[in-house]
Structure 1
Amino acid sequence: MSEKLIKANHDNILLGGDLPVRRIGYGTMRLADGPDSPRGGEALIWRPPADRAAALAVLRRAVDLGVNLIDTADAYALGGGEELVAEALHPYRDGVAVATKVGVLRPSPTEWVPLGHPAYLRQQAELSLRRLRVERIDLLQLHRIDTDVPLADQIGALKELRDQGKVRHIGLSEASVEQLREAAQIVPIVSVQNMYNLVTRHHDPVVDYAATNGIAFIPFFPVAMGAHASPDGPVAAVARELGATPAQAALAWLLHRSPTVVPIPGTTSPAHLEENVAALDLTLTGAQFARLDQAGG
């Protein structure tokens, strides 16, 4: 990559060619449980937030900052996440898109069980419509692919909802290139939401496939960096050069990694929320991008 300045794209991308969203969204998964509950990959996401007022405030602040893609799922707090989004934001401002996911059972706080039976997916979508207080879901994603059910049957259920006008666009989560190709034979797939960040890079082929095919790649846990976030690490060094934080540098790397990447960092802190959104204003040189890329890869 050349040394020329590469500006993070401040413009919207068009999901499905007709749904404009800014390139940093907001993921609601962390708006659950209490302050002493596990975080990160060990988070339970089992109960509505202990501080409901604070959760509502951070959702509203996200929209005030111009964030217009709000990501949730029916499995977050057994539907409580969707109810929280509706309580905070309904009636939704023009241009605000809500994405949700179906296809995972929560029989206990520690279990996330894929279930792709078509009747179950349709039922959960109906419940999501009620909890979100909408007549049509902007983006409905298959939360996990159930290997015990043909993918065609799972995608077919989502297509039926789309044909009925209950869903605008369809996406997948934790999907491979092959699965995206298979699903696209049935209905247009506008997004894929996989775990991806500077350190977790096994979905690089999916990022590239999404960019080539105009599919939004929505990374969750986008700023997980581990040891790379140390004060002496390369991420911190680039951040200091930018006058930014390591988290902002990591988000800037994602924004430069592909023109269809839309990170959805989640936080319960208004200050961190503002920090995340401000990453849109960062400019990396080619050399800075390469250093970050090599640090993670």
Structure 2
Amino acid sequence: MTDTAAPSTFRLGSELPVRRLGYGTVHLTGRGAWGPRGSDSNATAVLRRAVELGVTLVDTADNYGPGMAEERVAAALHPYAEDLVVATKGGVVRTSAEAWHVAGRPEQLRAMCEASLRRLRVERIDLYQLHRLDPDVAMAEQLGALAELRDAGKVRHVGLDSVTAEQLRAALDLDIVPIVSVQNRYNVLDRVSEPLLELCEERGIAFLPWFPLGNGTLPDNPVCAEIAKAHGATPSQIALAWLLHHSPVLCPTPGTGSVAHLEENLAAAGVRLTADDLARLDALTDRR
């Protein structure tokens, strides 16, 4: 059986290189991404260790905390390394751990972006993603606001979160602003978004899967566990390695508030799965 190597980098918008295995900041905040989780010093240690280990894509959002995750990123990493891409999101307002309110009016998106710029201490956000499409606001208006932010030099690249393939195609057909990334739930056991992934592959768009480890459920899968044992790895590492092998546009950003867990996750980039491993993992589709 031949080991296969996955490409380690992806170019956002065909020009901004990132290492495909990044780091997500949601676990630097509390349950429901509300309030703090752990100390500021621990958050700083995790973020700095991620960069030390070669992470060049840090994914956050204005409503994690809310505001806290972006502030912790800036406190730990600003001034940012030249090759570090900090991606954030706007378009959702939080009022509690359980309450998420979509807010896609142009004036709301502009205000959210300005607030993120201040918290991240930057003049331009590398990747600004619309956290949710607002069903009460025309898509053209929402994309138009993002285009204005890009034209004003406040945003370098634009992405979308939690969209269908049909919605992404509609956004691309409108041709108001280039879309360089999407974020959707996706992992080795949950591939509802496979049609979206296929469209991303066609168009060269990055796909940042959230819940890449099934929100902690994948280590219990016996196939992942069996393959992990053969590689001297953990089931979580196998699940992340599968994502890196499955498609060159997949850029997982698993989150954690633990340095040890971070190191384990990032070591998945060195796992080389065999063709037989990949076939067995591919066959897990939609099994719960």
**TM-score where L is the length of structure 2:** 0.95
Q: Secondary structure at the match of 1:183?
A: helix
Instruction: Quote the Cα distance in structure 1 between the aligned partners of 2:100 and 2:220.
Output: 32
Aligned pair partner of 2:268 in 279, 287, 292: 279
Instruction: Quote the Cα distance in structure 2 between the aligned partners of 1:192 and 1:227.
Output: 23
Instruction: Show structure 1 runs of 4+ deviating over 6 A.
Output: none
Equivalent residues of 1:198, 1:225 under 8 A apart? no
Instruction: Quote the Cα distance in structure 2 between the aligned partners of 1:226 and 1:136.
Output: 34
2:186 matched residue in structure 1: 196
1:6 matched residue in structure 2: 4
Alignment of 1:255-274 (within 5 A): 255-274=244-263
Aligned pair partner of 2:203 in 209, 213, 225: 213
Quick one: which amino acid aligns to residue 244 of structure 2?
Answer: L
Of stretches 105-114 and 89-98 in structure 1, the one that deviates more from structure 2 is: 105-114
Instruction: Quote the Cα distance in structure 1 between the aligned partners of 2:215 and 2:85.
Output: 28
CA distances 1:58-117 after superposition (whole Å, capped 9, x unpaired): 001000000010110010112111111000000001100100000001122210111101
Instruction: Quote the Cα distance in structure 1 between the aligned partners of 2:40 and 2:132.
Output: 28
Equivalent residues of 1:251, 1:279 under 8 A apart? yes
Q: Secondary structure at the match of 1:56?
A: helix
Unaligned runs of 5+ in 2: none
The offset of 1:5, in angstroms, is: 3.0
1:28 matched residue in structure 2: 25
Cα 1:228–1:55 change in 2 (3 A) is closer
CA distances 1:264-295 after superposition (whole Å, capped 9, x unpaired): 00011111111111111111111100101112
CA distances 1:151-199 after superposition (whole Å, capped 9, x unpaired): 1111110000000011000000001112112222211100001111112
Quick one: which amino acid aligns to residue 250 of structure 1?
Answer: A
Cα 1:227–1:74 change in 2 (3 A) is closer
Equivalent residues of 2:28, 2:38 under 8 A apart? no
1:295 paired with 2:284, answer yes
1:37 matched residue in structure 2: none
Instruction: Quote the Cα distance in structure 1 between the aligned partners of 2:251 and 2:113.
Output: 23
Alignment of 1:115-130 (within 5 A): 115-130=103-118
Equivalent residues of 2:22, 2:58 under 8 A apart? yes
Cα 1:76–1:226 change in 2 (3 A) is closer
Alignment: residue pair count: 284
Instruction: Quote the Cα distance in structure 2 between the aligned partners of 1:75 and 1:218.
Output: 18
Cα 1:226–1:263 change in 2 (3 A) is closer
Q: Secondary structure at the match of 2:65?
A: helix
Instruction: Quote the Cα distance in structure 2 between the aligned partners of 1:52 and 1:140.
Output: 24
CA distances 1:123-166 after superposition (whole Å, capped 9, x unpaired): 00001001000000000000011111111111110000000011
The offset of 1:49, in angstroms, is: 3.0
Quick one: which amino acid aligns to residue 228 of structure 2?
Answer: A
Equivalent residues of 1:228, 1:295 under 8 A apart? no
Instruction: Quote the Cα distance in structure 2 between the aligned partners of 1:226 and 1:125.
Output: 31
For the aligned residue pairs, the C-alpha RMSD in angstroms reads 1.4
1:44 paired with 2:12, answer no
Q: Secondary structure at the match of 1:135?
A: coil
Q: Secondary structure at the match of 2:191?
A: coil
**TM-score where L is the length of structure 1:** 0.92
Identical counterparts, % of pairs:
54
Instruction: Quote the Cα distance in structure 1 between the aligned partners of 2:156 and 2:217.
Output: 40
The offset of 1:225, in angstroms, is: 7.1
Instruction: Quote the Cα distance in structure 2 between the aligned partners of 1:252 and 1:59.
Output: 21
The offset of 1:226, in angstroms, is: 6.5
Q: Secondary structure at the match of 2:67?
A: helix
Equivalent residues of 1:228, 1:296 under 8 A apart? no
Instruction: Quote the Cα distance in structure 1 between the aligned partners of 2:73 and 2:284.
Output: 36
Q: Secondary structure at the match of 2:160?
A: strand
Equivalent residues of 2:218, 2:239 under 8 A apart? no
